[in-house]
Amino acid sequence: MVACTSGGILASAKVYPVKWFSGFTMTQWLVNKAFPQSQKDIKSLLDKSWEYRPVELVNTQTKQMLGASRCNQILPAITQLEPVRGIDTNPYAEQAVMCVATRAIASAHAAQYSALSTFTLDADFPLSAPKNLALMISYSEAKRVLQNKKIVNWAQAETVKFVSKEGEYQAKYDMEGAFQTVSLIARGDFNYDGIEDLLLFARSRVVDGTYASFRLFWLTKTDADSPLTLFKEYPPQDRECDWPAC
């Protein structure tokens, strides 16, 4: 499924509207699972109740408890919240990431310029993807990869094997002992510079074990010859702690 909106009238004759795709799974967590058709619909999802029972959370900074059942309850302090019950860790992590994606898509603008017409998730994607897409389970591993200037792309950070194309907007990749599904969930101008950006969702799991990660990456390309550039990610990788605390 795909939906889009122009997001307003721009001065440029060429407009690249905000679009979202089936990998945007926020509606799967709600009682009403109707796929949003407008940015107004998407914004309304932030106050919709989750189908999953309320999640008991603790603020790691203030130690206050919170019973959350919709996105707008967690977004103000989302980087400080973690589930009280271990069983809630993975479901909440994915749900929280979709809340962040919902807010981003709802506030995105149409773009006036795009260099992303040839973008695709395929076997070559790890060669152009920023190294942040590597599966960095610990802070020490993230530090090793992110601070090494010789490592530029995902393929240089770890061995990545393309597995399959899962529709137009999704692909699966194998790493050592793990696999990662990357989905293009939206296009639009997310940083308000007039240039079209991509919002990717990466769902990762280890083969033997229960560890999973759910991450968002905002990528852009300023012209046809420039590389894909990361300008934002969630959860952030710049603090000495591991998800869900970060």
Going from the first residue of the chain to its last (246 residues), give the mean pLDDT of each consecutive group of 10, the final group possibly shorter: 53 82 94 93 96 92 96 96 95 96 98 96 96 88 89 95 92 94 98 98 91 95 94 78 39
Residue 118 lies in a domain: no
Q: What is the domain range of residue 34? A: 2-107
Amino acid at residue number 51: E
Looking at residue 167, what is its pLDDT?
Answer: 86
The answer to whether residue 246 sits within a structural domain is no
Mapped onto helix, strand or coil, the DSSP state of residue 109 is: strand
Are 77 and 32 part of one and the same domain? yes
What global pTM score does this model have?
0.90
- Looking at residue 246, its pLDDT comes to 37
Report yes or no on 243 lying in a domain: no
Give the H or E element holding residue 141.
helix 139-146
Same domain assignment for residues 64 and 160? no
Instruction: Please tell me whether residues 161 and 203 are part of one structural domain.
Output: yes
Tell me what pLDDT residue 7 has: 45
CA gap 127, 44 in Å, rounded = 37
Distances (CA, A) of 55 to 58, 87, 107, 239: 10, 10, 26, 24
Does the residue 192 lie in any domain? yes
Domain total in the chain:
2
Are 142 and 56 found together in one domain? no
> Distance (Å, rounded) from C-alpha 168 to C-alpha 164?
11
pLDDT at 238: 56
Closest CA to 218 of 126, 108, 124: 108
The pLDDT value recorded for residue 193 is 97
Q: How far apart are CA 237 and CA 26, in angstroms?
A: 23
Q: Are residues 131 and 230 in the same domain?
A: yes
What pLDDT is attached to residue 66? 96
In a domain, 141, yes or no: yes
Q: Per the domain annotation, does 120 fall within a domain?
A: no
Please tell me the distance from the alpha carbon of residue 214 to that of residue 183, in angstroms, as a whole number.
11
Pick the last residue of a domain from 81, 107, 133.
107
Domain final position from 76, 107, 138: 107
